[in-house]
């Protein structure tokens, strides 16, 4: 994974894990790699990897079973809220960018409709 040095690494990895959960690469309830293995997977500092799990636990995206490891939450609602949160972030950035370019709300909606139909996503 390519990192952007201007954004803290743990935030980038958290976003990547959340994306994997939303897209189903990681299933709900699935066991996540250990802190050390996560560090190796992303080639990041092991202490940063531990911090990532701590943050994800704080957000209740995952939980730790003592002595067994870290697991993704079983809560479907959580999945939905992550999905919405990520969409929200994207939209916020998009709308802010379009506003900067001087687009109005109606123009933005229209341009989305045209673009979306023109491209076969």
Question: Which stretches of the chain bind another protein, using CB under 8 A?
Answer: 3, 5-6, 8-9, 36, 39-40, 42-48
Q: Do the Cβ atoms of 42 and 51 come closer than 8 Å?
A: no
Nearest distance from residue 15's CB to another protein, in Å?
A: 15
Q: Considering the complex, what minimum distance in angstroms separates the CB of residue 64 from another protein?
A: 17
Residues 62 and 68 sit within 8 Å (Cβ to Cβ)? no
Tell me how far apart the alpha carbons of residues 112 and 106 are, in angstroms, rounded to a whole number. 10
Choose between 35 and 73: whose C-beta lies nearer to another protein: 35
Cβ closest to another protein, residue 42 vs residue 73: 42
Least Å distance, CB 92 to another protein, is 22
- Burial-class residue 56 by CB neighbours within 10 Å (0-12, 13-18, 19+): buried
65: β partners: 69
Nearest distance in Å: CB 36, another protein = 8
Strand partners, 62: 72
Q: At 41, give phi and psi (nearest 5°).
A: -60, -45
């Amino acid at each position: 994974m390519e990192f952007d040095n201007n954004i803290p690494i743990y935030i980038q990895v958290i976003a990547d894990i959340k994306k994997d959960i939303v897209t189903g690469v990681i299933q709900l309830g699935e066991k996540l790699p250990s802190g050390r293995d996560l560090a190796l997977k992303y080639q990041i500092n092991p202490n940063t990897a531990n911090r990532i799990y701590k943050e994800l636990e704080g957000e209740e995206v995952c939980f730790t079973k003592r002595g067994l490891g870290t697991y993704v939450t079983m809560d479907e609602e959580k999945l939905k809220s992550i999905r919405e949160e990520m969409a929200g972030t994207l939209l916020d950035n998009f709308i802010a960018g379009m506003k900067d370019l001087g687009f109005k709300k109606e123009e933005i909606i229209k341009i989305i409709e045209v673009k979306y139909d023109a491209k076969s996503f």
